[in-house]
Chains A and B, each alone.
Chain A
């Protein structure tokens, strides 16, 4: 199972919006609505930000939103804040009852 494809980096200024893509295949993102997104700050464990494509766990700001079209899922962060600077990883359920993560995107707040 190959890793989902994410851009290595993304950036935006405070207050702006940024969208991170996550491209899979017809064996994972394209057929299952079990895409989740994780935020990881340096030295910390990943934190769940979005599950089932577009649902937010309690406590996650509504500035974070998710969507999916075909084989590509997306995470949008609106109203960028300094504390949003982190690595972001997507994850999808896949065929053969497995899961696959993306390679990660480093989000920089300029």
Chain B
């Protein structure tokens, strides 16, 4: 069974940093493109970032480019999202997702809540 479990969410002040982790199991992690998607409760999902299987290719939404960094540790089957220079508008639930079919996100974690507050 495919499982994605996020951790690292919490309350942080504007301008601060946070690192999210996603532990993956039940599939060949090193072969999968992985994405981060965020969603404000009651609003639609927003794509944040993606990374290819060996970590050599990454992509970011314009709103986070230069502030967020996606990475992975295939030896530990773990995906990361380093978030720096956080802003109030970054408040959301962050989901770790797997791309198993072309551009289709077929597995989602339960989400990690990131709250910006001074």
Contacts and interface: CB of A to CB of B under 8 A. Distances in A.
A3 B63 CA distance: 13
B26 interface: no
Interface string A52-95: 10010100000000000000000000000000000101010100
A98 B52 CA distance: 13
A91 B101 contact: no
- Which secondary structure characterizes the binding site on chain A? strand
Given A1-B61, A45-B111, A101 B45 contact: yes
Given A1-B61, A45-B110, A45-B111, A57 B45 contact: no
Size category, B interface: 20 to 34
Contact of B102 (A34, A87, A89): A34
A103 interface: yes
Interface in B27-55: 35, 43-47, 50
A91 B47 contact: yes
A36 B99 CA distance: 11
Contacts of B43: 104
Interface residues of A, number: 25
B39 to A, nearest CB: 8
B18 interface: no
The 7 closest A-B pairs by CB, nearest first: A51-B104, A34-B103, A99-B47, A45-B108, A104-B44, A97-B59, A36-B104
Given A51-B104, A100-B47, 20 more contacts: A3-B44, A38-B45, A45-B108, A45-B110, A48-B101, A48-B105, A48-B106, A51-B101, A52-B102, A57-B101, A57-B104, A57-B106, A89-B44, A91-B45, A96-B62, A98-B59, A99-B47, A101-B45, A103-B44, A104-B43
30 contacts: A3-B44, A34-B102, A34-B103, A36-B104, A45-B109, A46-B105, A48-B104, A48-B106, A51-B102, A51-B103, A52-B101, A52-B102, A52-B103, A55-B101, A57-B104, A87-B44, A89-B44, A89-B45, A91-B45, A91-B103, A97-B59, A98-B47, A98-B59, A98-B62, A99-B61, A100-B47, A101-B44, A101-B46, A101-B47, A102-B44
